[in-house]
Amino acid sequence: MHPNTLREKLYGVIAFPVTPFTDNLALDLPGLHHNLTKLIEHPVSAVVAAGGTGEMYSLTPSEYSRVIELTAHAIEDRIPVIAGVGFGQRLAIEMAQAAEKAGADGLLLFPPYYPQAEEDGLFEYYRSIAAATSLGVVIYSRDWATFTPSMVERLTAIPTLVAWKDGHGDIRRLQAIMNRVGERLQWIGGAGDDMVAAYYSIGIRAFTSSIATVAPRLSLKLHELGEAGENEALAELLDRCVVPLYAIRARRKGYEVSTMKAMMDMIGLNAGPVRPPLVNVTPEEEDELRTILATWEKFL
């Protein structure tokens, strides 16, 4: 897929599928295929394979390639498949090339392993990964990878950079970046489904959704209300269905994955446990998640 084509398709809900595992923590590829088949019954705009929700950091290189390949096969060119890449420069380049060979349509570039990198080093990290394939790339600003507006403007010199995914939720900083860079990039809200109202209030019309792995209709409804400017209805839906989930997700590191996997198992999809160092939710929290699922009934 040409980078410009990828950019045009990044609108609305971008789903973040989990990577399902068996009870002994092996890849559950049939389960992944089933999940994806159910997901693409709904009009999401793209999927991110082996991203953060997909436990990219827990996968071996061979597992990573298999996940991307199976995802591309299941999607069958209906929507773009974006592959997560990261770690260090050399490994990220190898991952990018493996993803392209496996059928990915774009790349989501995670921060490098080193948290105090200089801007020149960060620029070279992103530039070299992007240059390693013909795919369009999205930079994922999260964790220690924070950027000034001038640095984001510098990164737009990368010709295949098509979009920016915010993972911090700092609306003031993001708005300053958007004002500086303008329409050169597609802007994606990526700090959580609970921030759709905030993102859409500054003109963003795309967000990455882990909720879409469980209830795509709920994610699509958030986009529909945000796009239409129905702020009261959006706020009510967020307060009733989304904010309670995010309160649980905030309790422990990695719960953004663990909670979604637990909910998927509850409704008959395939998820299984998380791999260490992530931890699974407790039995008591499973009961809380079932209560939340009851409020999602019309969206399941």
141: in domain? yes
Contacts with 236 (C-beta within 8 Å, 6 or more apart), sequence order: none
| Dihedral of alpha carbons 236, 44, 199, 192, sign | positive
In a domain, 136, yes or no: yes
Q: How many CB atoms lie within 10 A of CB 70?
A: 19
CA atoms in the 13 A half-sphere facing the CB of 292 = 27
What would the two tokens of residue 195 be? 């921030």
Per the structure block, which two tokens stand in for 278?
């992530």
Domain-embedded: residue 160: yes
Residue with token string 């209906």: 78
Cα 186 versus chain centre, distance? 15
Burial class (CB in 10 A: 0-12, 13-18, 19+), 116: exposed
**Residue 170 belongs to a domain:** yes
Catalytic residue among 64, 126, 165, 199: 165
Neighbours of 283 (CB within 10 A): 7
Q: End-to-end distance of the chain based on CA atoms, in angstroms?
A: 32
pLDDT tens-place string over residues 35-56: 999 999 999 999 999 999 999 9
Smallest CA-to-CA distance from 126 within 142, 138, 114, 144 is with: 138
**Is residue 140 flagged as an active site residue?**
yes
Q: Which of the residues in the chain have pLDDT under 50?
A: none
Q: What's the alpha-carbon Rg for the chain, to the nearest Å? A: 18
Q: What is the pLDDT of residue 116?
A: 87
> One-letter amino acid identity for 247?
A
Q: What pLDDT was estimated at residue 203? A: 98
Asked if residue 86 lies in contact with residue 95, where contact means CB atoms within 8 angstroms, the answer is yes
Distance CA 234, CA 53 (A): 24
What range does the domain containing 158 cover?
3-229
- The verdict on residue 238 lying in a domain is no
Whether residue 266 lies inside any domain: the answer is: no
The answer to whether residue 254 is domain-embedded is: no
Q: Point out the catalytic residue in the list 125, 126, 140, 200.
A: 140
Residues 19 and 294: their CA atoms lie apart, in Å, by: 24
DSSP strand pairing (12-15 vs 186-189): unpaired
Is residue 57 annotated as part of the catalytic site, yes or no?
Answer: no
Tokens of 146: 């924070």
Cis peptide bond N-terminal to 277, omega within 30: yes
Number of domains forming the structure of the chain: 1
Q: For position 98, what pLDDT does the model report?
A: 98
Which pLDDT does position 264 carry in this prediction? 98
User: In CATH, what number is assigned to the domain containing residue 122?
Assistant: 3.20.20.70
> Model pTM?
0.97
Residue 271 included in any domain: no
Six token digits for residue 138: 């999205």
